[in-house]
Structures are given as C-alpha cells and as structure tokens.
A and B are shown apart, each in its own frame.
Chain A
Amino acid sequence: DAEITQSPRHKITETGRQVTLACHQTWNHNNMFWYRQDLGHGLRLIHYSYGVQDTNKGEVSDGYSVSRSNTEDLPLTLESAASSQTSVYFCASSAAGSSYNEQFFGPGTRLTVL
C-alpha cells in the first residue's frame, strides 16, 4: 500500500544545531507540504512543492528550508534550530490536478529544541 513516512518520529536537539526531518511518500504525488502544529495555532504551512526542483514558502517559512530532488522526498531543514521551533511537524502529499486533491498526512515528527 502507498504511504507517507516521516523520520525520525522524535528528535531532541540543541539550539543552533542544524536539523533535517525526512519525509518520504510512495503515492507518486507531485505535491508535498510541510506543516507545524502548535497549541492554539492549529497547523501552519511551512513550505510546499508542486514537483521536482519546485519549492515555495508558506506562512511560517523563516528558519526553514526544503529541497525537492525527486518525486518521493521533501526533507525539511532547520538551518540553526531555535527553541521557538519546538513543535510537531507533519508532512503531507497530494496528487496534482486542476481541482483540489486530498492531502495525505504522515504520522508526524515531534521536535524538541533545548
């Protein structure tokens, strides 16, 4: 069965370190998204991609970067981790198309920045 996976599921790091969260999907979806989930804010879009070599900033992109070298993967990098980036991160993917297509979510990565 097709799926979307995230690794690691839990990560503890220190302020200032670079951290990369992995997202891998086997749906063969063109669209991929990264969200962070925080109490009182719901899910907020960090970055998204509509295909290989395409990346776009979401509403909370500062301090984060992504790259899309293939269809299956969209790693999220925190260049210099800050305590404000402690959160739960979700990756999602959806098929391309002229109408909206359902986003399928991964299980999430809980990141703690000390």
Chain B
Amino acid sequence: AQSVTQPDIHITVSEGASLELRCNYSYGATPYLFWYVQSPGQGLQLLLKYFSGDTLVQGIKGFEAEFKRSQSSFNLRKPSVHWSDAAEYFCAVGATSYQKVTFGIGTKLQVIP
C-alpha cells in the first residue's frame, strides 16, 4: 500500500528566508507525486506534480520540488518565502490506475516578519 510521511508538523520561517518541506513516500512502482497547499478555511490547491522525466519540477507561486528515487523523497522548496505562503502543505502519492491519492498529514507553515 502507498503511504506518505511528512516528518514536520509545524515549521516557522522568517519572511524572505528559504524554505524546504520534507516528504517521504512508500510505493511499489514509479509514483505519481504531488504537493497541495491549503489556505485557512479553503480547499486544497495543486502546487505541482511529478509523473516522470525531469526530477526537478516547477510549480505555481515560485515553488519547486525534487524527486529523489534513492531517498524516496519529494521535498518542496522555495528560495524566498512571502507572508502569503503561510498555509498548510500536503504531500501526496497517487496510483494512476485508480485515480486515487494518499495524503500525508500535512505541514503547517508559519511565516514571521
């Protein structure tokens, strides 16, 4: 069965600092990987996705993520965080055959001035 681990439940960074959110997955084949963002009181919005090819993927809002098969990781990065990035971030792994995804428990990002 597929699973996702997000080891950091809560992260605080200063505005303008770099950000890296960690994600490790377990899946028997080549995974489909995603990062979603949830602003307070809102639904989830897709930031970026990895299906195949280039292991460094670019997403919306200046985010990027790198797929590392040897480490079973798909960490999310942003070089300079803005106050509006404060939200909860979810990593997810998908099984294309069933169009389903399994989500991690989320990492809540706090941005301080």
Contact = CB atoms under 8 A, between A and B. Distances in A.
Interface in B30-81: 32, 41-46, 49, 51
Q: Contact size class for B?
A: 20 to 34
B99 A101 contact: yes
Contacts of A58: 100
A34 B43 CA distance: 12
B43 A42 contact: no
Interface in A69-112: 90, 92, 94, 96, 98-103, 105-108
Interface residues of A, number: 26
Interface of B is mostly: strand
A50 B106 contact: no
A94 B99 contact: yes
B25 interface: no
B29 to A, nearest CB: 13
B13 interface: no
A42 B105 contact: yes
Contacts of B94: 100
Given A35-B103, A103-B101, 14 more contacts: A33-B100, A41-B105, A42-B104, A43-B44, A45-B100, A45-B102, A58-B100, A92-B43, A100-B94, A101-B99, A105-B44, A106-B43, A107-B42, A108-B43
Interface of B: 4, 6, 32, 41-46, 49, 51, 90, 94, 96, 99-106
